[in-house]
Amino acid sequence: MIKKQTMTVLTAIAVCATAAGCSTGTATTEGTPAPSGTTTAPAPKPGEKITLTMWGGVPAESGPQAVVDAWNAKNPDIQVKYERFVNDDAGNMKLDTALATQQDVDLFVNYSQTLLQRRVDAGFTQELGAYKDYNIDEKIDGAAEWKANGKYYAMPTSKSQFFVWFNKDLLDQAGLKVPDAWTWQEMQAFAEKLKSDKRYGLVQHLEPFPDPLDSVSTKYGYTKPDGSSNMDHPLYGQWLEIMKAMMQDGRTTVPYSEQVTSKMPVDTVFLKGEAAMLNAGTWIFRSANNMKDNPRTFKIAFAPVPRLTEQTGDFITRGGTGDAVSINAKSPHKEAAWEFLKWYADGGMLPMVPGGRFPASKVVNADETLKLLLGDNAATYDQESLKKVLFNSSSKYTRSLPKQVLDLRQEEYENFFTGKKDAKAALESIARRHNDYLKQAKK
**List of domains in the chain:** 10-160+321-374 (3.40.190.10)
What confidence tens digit (pLDDT) does each residue in 109-138 have?
A: 999 888 999 999 999 999 999 999 999 999
The H-or-E segment that residue 302 falls in is strand 300-304
Helices 89-100 & 113-121, crossing angle to 10 degrees? 20
β-bridge mates for residue 163, sequence order: 280, 304
pLDDT of residue 443: 75
**Alpha helix segments (H runs only) across 204-330:** 211-220, 234-248, 256-262, 266-271, 285-288
Give 416-422's long-range contacts (Cβ < 8 A, gap of 24+): 416/240, 416/244, 417/240, 417/243, 417/244, 417/247, 417/255, 417/256, 417/257, 418/256, 418/257
HSE-CB for 69 with a 13 A CA cutoff: 19
Relative to beta strand 200-204, strand 107-110 is: unpaired
Which residues of the chain are under the pLDDT cut of 50? Answer: 1-43
Instruction: Decide if 346 contacts 340 (C-beta within 8 A).
Output: no
Closest CA to 161 of 391, 384, 327: 391
pLDDT of residue 323: 94
> Of 424, 161, 172, 163, which is closest to residue 307 (Cα–Cα)?
163
Predicted local distance difference test score (pLDDT) of residue 95: 97
The pLDDT score that the predictor gives to residue 99 is: 97
Predicted pLDDT at 178: 97
93 vs 85: CA distance, rounded Å: 10
How high is the pLDDT of residue 123?
Answer: 96
